[in-house]
Amino acid sequence: MSSALSLAHEPVTGIRHGKLGMWIFLASEVMFFSGFFTAFIILRNTNLPVFAHGASELNWPLAALNTVNLIVSSLTMAMAILSLEHGNKSKFQLYMGITFLCACGFLVIKYIEYTAKFSHGIYPGTSSFFGMYFTMTGFHAIHVIGGMIPIGWMLAKSFTKRGYQDWERVEILGLYWHFVDLVWIFLFPVLYLIF
- What is the binding site for another protein (CB under 8 A)? 1-9, 11-13, 15, 17-18, 20-21, 24-25, 27-29, 31-36, 38-39, 42-43, 46-47, 49-51, 123-132, 134-135, 139
* DSSP-assigned letters across all residues of 93-115: HHHHHHHHHHHHHHHHHHHHHHH
d(CA 127, CA 178): 31
Q: How far is the CB of 41 from another protein (least distance, A)?
A: 10
Return the C-alpha torsion angle 164, 167, 169, 171, nearest 10.
Answer: 140
Reference 79, options 101, 100, 67, 96; nearest CA is 96
Instruction: Report the residue number, 29 or 181, with the smaller CB distance to another protein.
Output: 29
Buried b (16+ CB within 10 A) or exposed e, 139-168: ebbebbeebbeebbebbeebeeeeebeebe
d(CA 137, CA 111): 11
Instruction: Report the residue number, 96 or 154, with the smaller CB distance to another protein.
Output: 154
Q: How far is the CB of 177 from another protein (least distance, A)?
A: 18
Instruction: Report the residue number, 80 or 172, with the smaller CB distance to another protein.
Output: 172
Instruction: Report the residue number, 132 or 187, with the smaller CB distance to another protein.
Output: 132
Q: How far is the CB of 144 from another protein (least distance, A)?
A: 17
Q: Contact at 8 Å (CB) between 65 and 39? A: no
Reference 47, options 110, 126, 113; nearest CA is 126
Instruction: Report the residue number, 44 or 95, with the smaller CB distance to another protein.
Output: 44
Q: How far is the CB of 168 from another protein (least distance, A)?
A: 14
Q: How far is the CB of 50 from another protein (least distance, A)?
A: 4
